[in-house]
Amino acid sequence: MNNKIVYMGTPHYAREILDTLIQAEDIEVSLVLTQPDRPVGRKKVLTPPPVKIVAEENGIQVLQPNRLSDEGIEDAIRNAQPDFIVVAAFGQILPKSILDIAPCINLHASLLPQYRGASPVQQSLLNGDEKTGVTSMLMEEGLDTGPMLEKVEFVIPDEMRLHALMQQLTDDACELTLSTIRNYENITPQAQNESLATLCKKIKKSHGEVDFEDATIIYNKYRAFEGWPGIFAANGTKFDGLSLVDTTSSNKAFEILSFIDDSVVVGCQKGALKIENLQPASKKAMSAKAYCVGRGMKVGDTLI
């Protein structure tokens, strides 16, 4: 007999998990809940969440409540008679009335109880962690506080950035979702150790500003903030194509130490970075060397 699923999720990560459930022969997804369509880009084009697109392509009913407490939402979930409610990056807290309908399984992209909250993947990169992973857990009224069911771990390569790590964890989450549903009766839920719990908040644009104090911290921001918000100086100049040169030398912040091909090696108060590209505020990106040549900068000068 197939497991009947009500699914809740919104972004790419959640879309891939939903697609995996749809393709599974022993699982039936009868109802999908996702966030409302949002304006995207400069032209504010009303755009559906990735999860909605996949659900509609497969003829699955989609609900997009502003709040799960909206009229008719709980009844719709209850009428679907799910064996499980599966949740991945949905963006809303589930009220107890919905948690009580069926076991609610959340796929969280960290090794809980580490990095509860909105930005676990970025946080693992910001902290230079050696490993991360995905945890399936039973949801309760707290934020990512419920009993853990299964985990899969991943060792993070030193140069891996956000998009590649997110894809790895998405692939792992897809496999973990199937494993947890299929083996649910044989899994003993394990309480999280509250003394080890950490919380991560939503990323803000201001988090991308760097001052060239510590090369390791800047490099980890570069890895974590790929795509958005990126990393930039206080004057708005953006940096891209970063690599660590060393992590211990003492320099003046933003001091030009050398040129390598079209890149420039820049000192931090602790360590140094090689930068391939810069983009001044409101201008096009260019090679770091072209930026310096155009401004008559040489070794010993301050980049910004």
Domains parsed from the chain with CATH numbers = 3-200 (3.40.50.170), 205-294 (3.10.25.10)
For every one of its 304 residues, what pLDDT tens digit does the chain have, with 9 covering 90 and above?
Answer: 799 999 999 999 999 999 999 999 999 999 999 999 999 888 999 999 999 999 999 999 999 999 999 999 999 999 999 999 999 999 899 999 999 999 999 999 999 999 999 999 999 999 999 999 999 999 999 889 999 999 999 999 999 999 999 999 999 999 999 999 999 999 999 999 999 999 999 999 999 999 999 999 999 999 999 999 999 999 999 999 999 999 999 999 999 999 999 999 999 999 999 999 999 999 999 999 999 999 999 999 999 9
Q: How far apart are the C-alpha atoms of 236 and 153, rounded to whole Å?
A: 37
Beta bridge partners of 270: 214
Torsion of CA 96, 102, 103, 106, to 10 degrees: -70
Can you tell me whether residue 48 is helix, strand or coil?
Answer: coil
DSSP class per residue in 53-107: HHHHHTT-EEE--SSTTSTTHHHHHHHT--SEEEEES--SPPPHHHHTTS-EEEE
H or E segment to which residue 52 belongs:
helix 50-57
